[in-house]
Structure 1
Amino acid sequence: MRSISSRILIYFLTLFLPLACTDPDTNVLVSTNDILVVDGTITNLAEPQIIHLNRSKADPLTGRFGTTPVTKATVMVVVDSSLQVPCHETVDGSYQLPSDFKGQIGHAYQLRFTLDDDTQYVSSQQVMQDVPPITKVSARFNPKSLPTTQLYGYTAAHDLFLDSQDPAQQHNYYRWDWKLYERQYWCKTCRNGVYAVHKILPGVYKSDKDFTYFVAGNELYEDCFTPSPGLSQVDANAPVVPSTSWNYDYPCRTPCWEILYSSDIQVFDDRFANGNMISQQRVAQIPFYDYQPALIDVRQLSLTPDAYRYYKLFADQSQKAAGLVDVPPTALGGNVHRVANSQVQAVGYFTASAVSVVHYWLDRADRQGYAYGADPTGKHINDGDDLFFALNGRSSHPEPPPLYILDDYRETPKVKIWPYTDRPPTAPCLQSDNRTPFKPEGWRE
């Protein structure tokens, strides 16, 4: 899961930075650390099955940790000790199983991969456990839900609760997470440039009585065009490009949804409720980003006993800020180790989980006060401005539309493209971990 991988990386930055600053002896140790971080969960849902590989590595001079994706690895999942299913790298550090692959309850899964230096790693075998269904999800607005450190003091959110019947006569372990879909209206931001649907012709310009323009050709480009501010000093015919900084934001060409993930790790051992109803268990705190309705996938996942112990330890350590620097890094070694030396462990965990999911429509009808992304002065006028502000910390700034007239009271673009009759353009909604052009299952509009 993407959110778990991010959480692990953040944890290590939090863990090691104080050590590098406070203990000279530890600083030497930290400066030589090169930590491989592995995260992957095989599920029984028809969804992308992705393994994430990253490195958390200390700078040799400062000892400060940074993270980089691990690329060009050969990754596979072995099913029942026999069937080898290869993964392909989709983006740097993300390795996806075939689109028709999904796990099955009772079957065993093992991760194997080889880095580009031929170092081989293998995980312990994970047998997918069954999971009981979620029977009910409810939501309640809570103006004091979030910790004050999460959104700069803003605390309003909707708390989500679930009910589920725990099976009797068996020991079950659970993990809960969520995925939030918000309707997104802004698909591209160009910094110090403008969006170009077609490729800009090099060295070709057009002038009218007021301005000089860059000229677009017919070849598709679909990206930001960012000319150098010094271009007019090299080519006297070129338009003058300001040396100041600016952003232009471009609306989505088609319907689009932003995807936001849970960051907390919530696990549960059913010895506290064996055979009874798990009732009104809070499993999500959805920030009151904006006033629009939203869709939340509430997920209940089964865990193996070893996976539960790992995630419980990780949650206890990472969610208690006090004393983190006293926890030895080896405490978070997961179930992936080097083939040539099993004492060399990667951080993170590979597991297999059955999932029960409920697509919950959050209408936000019981909201109170201002949304996190709202402008209390009422200046937001474009669709999606509240969500844009919540995610970016600023209001959207669309490219000024034509007509372009010198000394007119209207703002004109800092970089001008010919022809301009269809400007400003829209931008495509590109599929990624954080965005999708496909209507989510359960969306009501």
Structure 2
Amino acid sequence: MPIKINRISVKVDKLRIQPTLFLLKSLFIFAMNSMNLRSKTILIVGLLLIGMCACVEPYDVTYRLNANVLSVDGFVSDQDGTTVSINIARNSGLSYYTEPLQKCTAEIRAGDGSITPLKETISGVYTAPGTFRGKIGQTYQLSFRTPDGKTYESSKELLTGTPEIKNISQQFNLNGLLDNIGKKVVASTVDIYLDFDDPKESKNYYLWRWKLYEEQSICITCVGGRLVGNQCVKINSRTPADYDYFCDKQCWDLIYNDNINILDDKFVSGKSVTGKLVAKIPFYHPSKGCLLEIEQLGLSQQAYQYFELLSSQSQTTGTLTDTPPAAIIGNVRNVNDSQDKVVGFFGAASTKKISYWIERDRYSNPIVKSLLGHPVNLEVSSFPPPSFPCVLSRDRTPIRPEGWK
């Protein structure tokens, strides 16, 4: 008999991501100092000019620390594009931020003895060769050496399978997105549900992530200034306006999931699962469609427990933007110094991906949220006004996504 998943999302928000994903059941305490630790998850993608959609995105976590702490996140996948992010969580005295750790020597070691070197493709992001794919049933371990000579390695992670996504459906939710205190409606949403068959013969743990392509016409906002050439120049005025400028070509914003969505199959017992809520997509346009890419990952028990703890901590603060109270130590260690704590997680996950075109024009009178975050204010002092390039980045692309209608 099919298992019907209640259409209620466990909200563990963070990112426009820029994640997320991770765990441990204790407060993070250093030997020398007792620290107040809260974590903020940021999705880092090893974007390449070719095959942007193929990358398996690591979760990059920023922590509120009183010292510098190493942060490592990534997955080996049976799909193309395995990436790992290595960062330093820093405290400047005024703010907390994550700084990419460059020039590491990194590799992935498989249980069969093979070694795959990783190349730094973006600052702090290390990518496997395009031909590399993990194999179900194989174990994988991350090993890397920092520029100052410290050596780190993860525990060995078993890559387990995950079933195919059988079906996707959508449903209009007029009051879908609420503010941080859960009272005011920010936007209507299109809620996305999927069906799959949980295998009977094995124990399974799941994680769902998504990436959204929204067409964007504004490529830069000059705060208190105007665009001159490709630079924003400040306006000499007591009350300068903020001006928006069109993109010079067709452009898309990339938006990532900001919740941790996991499932232990003890709740579904090897049966068919229908109506699993995986995404709540706001109405950034009242009628324009958008393209959603969904990933269903099969996790190890250790990885599931890591995300479960991160999810639990995030719920205590409301969202992942409101960082949890404790940094979460994962499965990466300094091989020569047990007191050198490392946050984040390196795992192995079988991945099933599917693209879905969301139709919005079938719904009437939705509550719309600005894609820019503010009403558009175009400069009209010159005609035609200047435009700005659609620059390829983690959050924006001029490359037409496959499946765009």
Tell me what 1:289 maps to. 284
| 1:90 shift after superposition | 3.3
| 1:35 shift after superposition | 2.3
Matched letter for residue 40 of structure 1: G
Tell me what 2:340 maps to. 344
Q: Percent identity?
A: 32
Tell me what 1:427 maps to. 388
Q: Distance in 2 between matches of 1:10 and 1:256?
A: 32
Matched letter for residue 320 of structure 1: T
Matched letter for residue 117 of structure 1: D
| 1:193 shift after superposition | 4.5
Tell me what 2:211 maps to. 179
Tell me what 2:361 maps to. 365
CA deviation string 1:210-257 (max 9, x = no partner): xxxxxxxxxxxxx3264xx7xxxxxxxxxxx73664544332333222
* Paired residues for 1:43-58 under 5 Å: 43-46=77-80, 48-58=81-91
Q: Secondary structure at the match of 2:194?
A: strand
CA deviation string 1:60-86 (max 9, x = no partner): 5x6x53332323323322233633333
Q: Distance in 1 between matches of 2:337 and 2:292?
A: 43
TM-score (norm 2): 0.76
| 1:287 shift after superposition | 1.4
Matched letter for residue 44 of structure 1: D
Tell me what 1:395 maps to. 376
Q: Distance in 1 between matches of 2:386 and 2:17?
A: 35
* Kept after mapping to 1: 8 A contact 2:135/2:159: yes
Q: Secondary structure at the match of 2:212?
A: strand
Pair 1:147–1:55, CA change in 2 (3 A): farther
Q: Distance in 2 between matches of 1:183 and 1:5?
A: 18
| 1:140 shift after superposition | 0.5
Equivalent of residue 138 in structure 1, options 156, 169, 176: 169
Q: Secondary structure at the match of 1:309?
A: helix
2:39 maps to 1:42: no
Tell me what 1:257 maps to. 252
Structure label with greater radius of gyration = 1
Q: Secondary structure at the match of 1:279?
A: strand
Aligned length: 353
| 1:333 shift after superposition | 0.8
Q: Distance in 1 between matches of 2:186 and 2:232?
A: 37
Pair 1:51–1:150, CA change in 2 (3 A): farther
Tell me what 2:106 maps to. 75
* Kept after mapping to 2: 8 A contact 1:254/1:429: yes
CA deviation string 1:155-199 (max 9, x = no partner): 421111110011112111110111111112222344535252xxx
* Kept after mapping to 2: 8 A contact 1:37/1:347: yes
Q: Which runs of 5+ in 1 are unaligned?
A: 197-222, 230-240, 374-388, 403-422
Tell me what 2:128 maps to. 97
Tell me what 1:66 maps to. 97
* Kept after mapping to 2: 8 A contact 1:121/1:339: yes
Equivalent of residue 315 in structure 1, options 308, 311, 314: 311
Tell me what 2:50 maps to. none
Q: Distance in 1 between matches of 2:199 and 2:20?
A: 31
Pair 1:31–1:172, CA change in 2 (3 A): closer
Q: Distance in 2 between matches of 1:347 and 1:137?
A: 35
* Kept after mapping to 2: 8 A contact 1:146/1:156: yes
Q: CA RMSD in A?
A: 3.4
Equivalent of residue 164 in structure 1, options 165, 176, 196: 196
Q: Distance in 2 between matches of 1:399 and 1:125?
A: 59
Q: Secondary structure at the match of 2:331?
A: strand
CA deviation string 1:260-303 (max 9, x = no partner): 00010111111111220011111111112212100111221100
Pair 1:336–1:31, CA change in 2 (3 A): closer
Structure number with the bigger relative contact order (C-alpha 8 A, sep ≥ 6) is 2
| 1:334 shift after superposition | 0.4
Q: Distance in 1 between matches of 2:216 and 2:16?
A: 24
* Kept after mapping to 1: 8 A contact 2:177/2:188: yes
Matched letter for residue 369 of structure 1: N
Higher alpha-carbon deviation: 432-441 or 271-280: 432-441
